[in-house]
Amino acid sequence: MSSRFHGLFGIRLKGLALFLLALTIWAAPALAADEPDLIFRRSTVFKWMSPNDKLATYGLDDPEVEGVACHFTVPEKGGFKGWLGLAEEVSDISLACRQVGPIKFKNKMEQGDDMFRQRRSLFFKKMQIVRGCDAKRNVLVYMVYSDKLIEGSPKNSTSTVPIMPWGPADASVQKCGEFFTH
């Protein structure tokens, strides 16, 4: 009975290990696409035998609007679950977007289109940065939020980027209303 139990237990562990490996390989491309640049991390909660909880600040350029960069700060769970990528991250995310050069729109866009998306848990939660246009004020509007498959999340942050001339050579300012459909 004992050797039979250990044999079944060993087979189940090997099956679980293969499943986790396959899941990691499947999830890796989705996590690696369009990765933002890590600016810095700061520990917030000390963990004795495992990685600390941290706040991490990232930067990314808007792929459809040249001249706009966004920075966001997200909490990152430590502990063994965080280290293994199994912890569900909280939804507290801050966002700041700024004009960093002359603004040039690359394509037509829809209001509320995704600019960036990232998983915040293994299966159910993702963070999204979406963009829109306040045509009346000629201002780009960026919103970050996280959503959960089952209950969603009301936590969000908004940042705006007024479209302004960039230096004396940039006399013509594009109108975002010409590039967004409602």
- At position 18, the amino acid (one-letter code) is L
pTM recorded for the entire structure: 0.70
Q: Report the mean per-residue pLDDT for the chain.
A: 76
Residue with the bigger pLDDT between 166 and 80: it is 166
Question: What is the structure's pLDDT at 4?
Answer: 54
Tokens standing for 55?
């706040």
Q: What is the pLDDT of residues 99-115, one digit of tens each?
A: 999 999 999 999 999 99
Question: What is the structure's pLDDT at 13?
Answer: 46
- Closest CA relative to residue 129, chosen from 51, 181, 54, 63: 63
For residues 21-26, average pLDDT:
40
The answer to whether 76 and 53 are in contact (CB under 8 A) is: yes
Q: What is the pLDDT of residues 147-165, one digit of tens each?
A: 765 565 667 899 999 999 9
For residues 34-62, average pLDDT:
81
Q: What angle do CA 26, 150, 119 make, to 5 degrees?
A: 35
